[in-house]
Amino acid sequence: MEQTLEFAAEAHAGKPQLALALRLIQNTGVRKRHLVQPIEETLSHPGFEERNRIFETESKKRCPDVVEEALANAQLRARDIDAIIYVSCTGFMMPSMTAWLINTMGFRYDTRQIPIAQLGCAAGGAAINRAHDFCAAHPGSNVLIVSCELCSLCYQPDADDVGSLLSDGLFGDAVAAAVVRGEGGTGIALERNASYIIPNTEDWISYAVRDTGFHFQLDRRVPGTMEPLAPVLRELAAGHGWDAGDLDFYLVHAGGPRILDDLATYLGVDRTVFRHSWATLTEYGNIASAVVLDAARRLFDEAAPQPGATGLIAGFGPGITAEMALGRWSSDAVRTEGGGRGGQYAHD
Give me the active site residues, please. 121
CB 302 within 8 A of CB 154: no
* Alpha-carbon radius of gyration of the chain: 19
> 192: which strand partners?
326
Residue 234's identity, in one-letter code, is R
Please choose, from the candidates 315, 348, 8, 5, the residue with its C-alpha nearest in 3D space to the C-alpha of residue 155: 8
Cβ-in-10-Å burial (0-12, 13-18, 19+) of 45 comes to middle
| Torsion over CA: 6, 58, 148, 330 (sign) | negative
Please choose, from the candidates 334, 53, 318, the residue with its C-alpha nearest in 3D space to the C-alpha of residue 198: 318
CB 130 within 8 A of CB 295: no
Residue count of the chain: 348
In angstroms, how far is CA 118 from the centroid of its own chain? 13
Please choose, from the candidates 115, 125, 129, 143, the residue with its C-alpha nearest in 3D space to the C-alpha of residue 277: 125
Residues whose CB falls within 8 Å of the CB of residue 37, separated by 6 or more in sequence, listed in order = 54, 152
